Structure 1
């Protein structure tokens, strides 16, 4: 367990400082909307639905090899621009007893506590996202009993940190992109949600399906009996566009660069890229490009990709968030990237879904690499309708 300061006077002073800072920040920054969609009946308090309506992932702050927080100025600027929610990925391996020593776990938990305090003081709502890597995913697939215990232990420690902050401002995301079969995850997530609910009675939970949390995996996922839950999907289609210029040279998508969106077979640029892949015998990349071309013949393809989640919501009236979506920026045409981002946000808002851009300051980031400030074009694509 983390060695948290439990002295009454120290805690009282901390909470008083936080309350004052939060009151000041909220008074000068735009408030979160009271209700993202009044016409749709949800099972989660309306203010929390509204809080999830626009956000970003702070990848690398807590889940990096070192805890490197964004600057307070950047966070304040994004809050003032209209962002209401920060998804905070937390490396599972850094807080699970099997993978990390107690001193390391305590350090990481204290870093989470500091991040929550800072973000709350700026007026944000926060999702604490248990974000596993290869080590846990391997254990999860191979040993159901041991992996479940690690998740319970991790959430026991995370709950101790979260409980020192307002319950209506923080969300608990039980596991990012569970890497196992749908039937087994359905049983596990119900058990895990019951444990976390006992630890955090007033906290809204966030859960998602398997298979990278794709929208077309949601129809096979039954909503939990717990009503205070938001359901998360991720969206990166078409992958040939969003992951072009992939960071791994062995990945076929590394060879695709400059691909515009929408993707049309008769677009001269698409034809040029296709011919180059053909000339260089990049067979795997060519196959991925051809699939993307075929899949994009329908102009409403984003609708087609996301329709399964919309149908699921109509059936169950449960809230949804796309809490990961984005485009690798180094090799994608800037105007196409903005067009794709705008289309995803428009669809989300039309269906009363929250969203959180992936991510802040790295390969997909919404920060301009040259200036270190938010990219004005990206902010307009994400927030321009507000």
Structure 2
């Protein structure tokens, strides 16, 4: 299959994106739009979401990591945290005190670096198997998170209730499952931003019928690893259906789909009056060259720029990395691909 050059593909995408919206989509131009000021954002990947901190080849976070992230021009850091193996599955669902202290320390470091923070629940594995049976446990954990961060500034710390609902956790039970967590947060934080992503790993198609609580301070998110056969080629954790290595990007079909995806975001904004943000996007460094990863991020960033959405790239320094901790430098071209100034 013939591939397009990156410049040609982007030109095609942007030409399509700037086409007029249909009458159905454009009717709500006057709708007040609610959005989080996520801006340029990076995930602290493979740090607090493994079974133990840094277990997946990552390293323990330090205060200097957040100072470096802020100095690079990022406005927000998304902090994925695994809670289910650090808490009891029985009421009152007590979270390990040392773990809560460590999470708070990391949030404090990020805020001290003048970064906004998205704190989430990540890999709460049982909730994807038996969502409703685990809902109270999940809510009990969020009650403790809400208590620990009582009094923190609302304009810079935001709560994402659960990462990438999938398997048995879908739109049919999403709000019922998340209600205990939502209510636990709202009991202490009546207006703090709460973030919710949709079914099927929060792919962009989940926006089409994403249910949300009737609350102006609830914000939608989606993830973008498209095309998956490109971004995850050779990724062992996708077994048994590991995408083969050698997939190019972008093909003519990729460019056309990207344009449709951008329009889907615009349609969602027009329909709901809410602006979603992209909570994760990236391409696997083990089987995709740095040059191609730079080009991929530039293409995605430039294509979605007209929508005004915030974008959180995956990830800081481990698996799909932007920063090389061994060489102590940002990987060449990666910051520039996001529109940030290149730096060492």
TM-score range, shorter chain: 0.7 to 0.9
Aligned pairs for 1:62-141 within 5 A:
62-67=48-53, 68-98=59-89, 105-140=96-131
Q: Deviations over 1:131-183 (max 9, x none)?
A: 1243342232xxx1x31101210111101121142222100101111222312
Highest Rg: 1 or 2? 1
Residue 99 of structure 1, CA deviation: 7.9
> Over residues 175-209 of structure 1, what are the superposed CA-to-partner deviations in whole Å (9 max), with x where a residue is unaligned?
11122231211443456423322221231111111
Question: Where do 4+ consecutive residues of structure 1 move more than 4 Å?
Answer: 99-104
Report deviation, 1:384. 4.0
Q: Which moved more, 1:63-72 or 1:166-175?
A: 63-72
Provide the C-alpha distance between the structure 1 equivalents of 2:170 and 2:94, rounded to a whole number of angstroms. Answer: 34
Match for residue 309 of structure 2? 353
After superposition, residues 234-245 of structure 1 pair within 5 angstroms as 234-245=223-234
Cα gap change, 1:71 to 1:194, in 2 (>3 Å): closer
Q: TM-score, normalised by structure 1?
A: 0.72
Q: 2:171 is matched with which residue: 179, 182, 192?
A: 182
- Check the 8 A contact 2:175/2:211 in 1, yes or no: yes
User: d(CA) in 2 for partners of 1:242 and 1:128?
Assistant: 25
**Contact persistence 1:55–1:87 (CA under 8 A):** yes
Aligned CA distance change for structure 1 residues 191 and 315 (closer, same or farther; 3 Å)? farther
Q: How many residues align?
A: 306
Change (3 A) 1:164 1:109: farther
CA drift of 1:101 comes to: 11
Task: Pick closer, same or farther for the CA change 1:297–1:202 going to 2, 3 Å.
Answer: closer
Unaligned runs of 5+ in 2: 1-29, 54-58
Aligned-partner SS, 2:84: helix
- Residues 260, 333 of structure 1: 8 Å contact kept: no
User: Which residue of 170, 173, 178 corresponds with 2:160?
Assistant: 173
Is 1:317 aligned to residue 273 of structure 2?
A: yes
Residues 1:221 and 2:210 are matched in the alignment: yes
Looking at structure 1, the residues matched to 282 and 180 of structure 2 have their Cα atoms a distance apart, in angstroms, of 31
TM-aligned CA distance change 1:249 to 1:236, over 3 Å: closer
Alpha-carbon distance, 1:118 to partner: 0.8
Change (3 A) 1:375 1:157: same
TM-superposed CA distance for 1:309, in Å, is 3.1
Q: Deviations over 1:272-324 (max 9, x none)?
A: xxxxxxxxxxxxxxxxxxxxxxxx43633212234333311111110211011
Structure 2 match to 1:205? 194
1:341 to 290, 297, 321: 297
Native 8 Å contact 1:259 1:333 kept in 2:
no
Instruction: Measure, in 2, the Cα distance between the counterparts of 1:190 and 1:160.
Output: 17
Q: Deviations over 1:219-267 (max 9, x none)?
A: 112343110122110011111110012134944436x23433213xxxx
Q: 1:55 aligns with which of 20, 33, 41?
A: 41
**What's 1:259 paired with?**
247
User: How far 1:61 moved relative to its partner?
Assistant: 2.8
Coordinate RMSD, CA, aligned: 2.7
Is contact 2:92–2:140 with CA below 8 Å preserved after alignment? no
Work out the CA distance in 2 between the residues paired with 1:207 and 1:65.
23
